[in-house]
Each structure stands twice: as C-alpha cells, then as structure tokens.
Amino acid sequence: MSKKLFNIISRVMEIESSGLTDESRPEDIENWDSYNGLLLVDKLESEFNVEFTVEEVFDVHSIADIKKHLLNHGVILND
C-alpha cells in the first residue's frame, strides 16, 4: 500500500511518484504548499477512511510521518 500512498501524493502534488521516498519532506516538493497539503489530507482521509487530528496534520515533516499516522489509525502499509 506504500505504492498507493506514493501515488496519492504524486497526484495531489503533480509530480512523479518515482521521486518520492519515506524521507521526502514538504520542503523537498515544490508544489507541497499549505493548500496542496490540505488537499492531501482530504484525499488521504477519504482513500484510507481515517480522520486525522489537527496535531497529526501539523506533525507531518516527511512521508514517513504520514505512514506513522496512518498506522496509528490502523492502516497497514505493506512496503
């Protein structure tokens, strides 16, 4: 499911998923601004049927953090 996560991020940010890693950060992705960040949260919540807290949203400093929060909501991402 990591591939699914990377595909969602690449669609929202309009970039190639092949360039994404767990260490990719918003600062590394030109299109990852506050607006696209909110779009990403919305898309992740609908795709994985979860609801992130405000604290979780502000705690995202890398894709690994997104994975951590998804796992906390019971979403298993098989790498």
In 3D, which of 45, 26, 46 has the Cα closest to residue 36? 26
Of the pLDDT bands very low, low, confident and very high (cuts 50, 70, 90), residue 72 is very high
Residue 54 lies in a domain: yes
Asked if residue 32 is part of any domain, the answer here is yes
Question: What are the C-alpha distances in Å from 60 to residues 38, 64?
Answer: 12, 8
Inside any domain, residue 66: yes
User: Is 78 inside any structural domain?
Assistant: no
Considering the domain boundaries, does residue 79 fall inside one? Answer: no
Evaluate whether residue 48 is within a structural domain.
Answer: yes
- Tokens encoding 12: 């929202």
Q: Which residues constitute the domain of residue 39?
A: 2-72
Indicate the number of domains in the chain. 1
Which residue intervals of the chain are DSSP H helices? 2-13, 34-48, 54-58, 63-72
Instruction: Give me the pLDDT at residue 77, please.
Output: 87
Q: Read off the CATH number of the domain in which 26 is found.
A: 1.10.1200.10
Write the pLDDT tens digit of every residue in 49-66. 999 999 999 999 999 999
